[in-house]
Amino acid sequence: MEPIVSIAAMPTAASSPAVRALRGATTVDADTREQVRDRTVALVDRMLADNGIEHDDLISVLFTATDDIHSMFPALAARESGLGDVPLMCARELDIDGAKPLCIRILMHMSTSRARDELHHIYLEGAADLRDDLPS
């Protein structure tokens, strides 16, 4: 006969680690290596801190940049700030009329016990108004 397991003792979605994705974006005032580096690192640091994400929780990070950013790969800034062992990739954002200029976006994949609605997506600088439909 199978032992009876209490439902209360079973792991819930909020307590079981799951792969989740976190969004973030920032802008630079000018396309310089210093601004791209500083704003990218500030965004990554804030995404990690506000969501209680440890380095070993990270699975991968995708960075996109608008066509007006040429001075530096945002992934290089993250690599130099300590994420060198995390898979990082850069891509071009679609060039859409009226889109936010000088913008760096991040899609961060991680393992977390937090439920999706407990994640805080981070939008800084001129990107603060991009996604008011996501929790922040």
Distance between CA atoms of 48 and 57, rounded to whole angstroms? Answer: 10
Which entry of 20, 39, 114, 123 is annotated as an active-site residue?
123
Which entry of 20, 23, 37, 114 is annotated as an active-site residue?
23
Q: What is the DSSP string of 108-127?
A: EEEEESS-GGG---EE-GGG
Cβ count within 10 A of residue 113: 16
In the residue annotation, 37 being an active-site residue is answered as: no
Cβ count within 10 A of residue 118: 13
In the residue annotation, 93 being an active-site residue is answered as: yes
Which entry of 20, 37, 39, 93 is annotated as an active-site residue?
93
In the residue annotation, 20 being an active-site residue is answered as: no
In the residue annotation, 90 being an active-site residue is answered as: yes
For 38, the 3-state DSSP assignment is helix
Which entry of 34, 79, 103, 114 is annotated as an active-site residue?
79
Give the CA distances from residue 112 to residues 18, 24, 64, in Å, rounded to whole numbers and listed in that order.
Answer: 5, 17, 23
In the residue annotation, 92 being an active-site residue is answered as: no
Which entry of 20, 37, 39, 105 is annotated as an active-site residue?
105
Distance between CA atoms of 64 and 108, rounded to whole angstroms? Answer: 11
Residues classed as catalytic = 23, 79, 90, 93, 105, 123, 131
